Amino acid sequence: MNQEVFAALTEALKRGEGVALVTIVSSTGSTPQRVGAKMLVHADGRTVGTIGGGCYENEAFWKAREAITTRKPVTMQFELNDDFAQETGLVCGGQMEVFIEPVEPSPELYVFGAGHVGYFVATMAREVGFQVHVIDDREKFANTDRFGAGIDVIVEHIPTWLEQHRLPATAYAVIVTRGHTHDLDTMRALAARPMRYRGLIGSKAKVKRIFDALVEEGVAADALERVHAPIGLDIGAITPQEIAISIVAELIAVKHGKVTDPNAPAVSMRWDGALARR
């Protein structure tokens, strides 16, 4: 049975789909399944495998779907006493502990801009497990010889490329193009898309100018509030390498649920009711 679960898990990750793996990690007394029994839960409610059925499996199922959303593991304990057995029809009288683990594919990171900061963000992010795509229209900067194996390098006009591609809702986007106009064009294309992370490089003044321009064009202010801008954790970074470290650190923090709100860590700038973090 677990082979079927592992096969389904592998296929889900290949498709870029997040799932939750439910495992019985301990049991005492009489329980309907042994330690190690597994059930895979998909976000749409499909399941593979079983941890024994009954209402406790149903409860674990709903917790698993919640874990896919929160991306946080959870442990559950069940007391399979006589009342429980009578209610469910299961003949058992033991205790059982279940571990629910959300499992995601390697996150996809899209780096818009192949300049110095983009280069270091891409190479560092690949080292910590991101699937990295770099998009820039300058072949001098955007080439595989420069970035090396394992990084997908695309030489194309960024807005045109974005018009033709739908990014997954779990994707991360880092906007570090070569200038204000290119950042504005990229942000315009990404502002309303559902994504796990959008970050825009630049000073607070530059961010404000870009946000003001987008609002004038009709972009919803609440969409801009979800943008990490200025990008990166505040570590006093100056060089391209240091800036890249601050950005990748923020990506990791978002990946592990340590940063969920762009405005949460520290707020020092207000923009028309929206907060830009630094």
Crossing angle of the two packed helices 180-190 and 204-216, in degrees rounded to 10 = 50
The residue whose two tokens read 């929160």 is: 70
What pTM did the predictor assign?
0.77
DSSP one-letter code for 228: B
Strands 267-271 vs 274-277: parallel, antiparallel or unpaired: antiparallel
> Per-residue confidence at 14, pLDDT binned at 50, 70, 90?
confident
Ordered by start, the domain boundaries in the chain are 2-103, 108-277
DSSP letters, 103-151, are E-PPPEEEEE--SHHHHHHHHHHHHTT-EEEEEES-TTTS-HHHH-TT-
Between 13-22, 65-74, 187-196, 267-276, the lowest mean confidence (pLDDT) is in 267-276
Tens digit of pLDDT for each residue in 90-143? 445 578 899 999 998 889 999 999 999 999 999 999 999 999 999 999 999 999
Handedness of CA 223, 224, 228, 231 (dihedral sign): positive
CATH topology of domain 108-277: Rossmann fold (3.40.50)
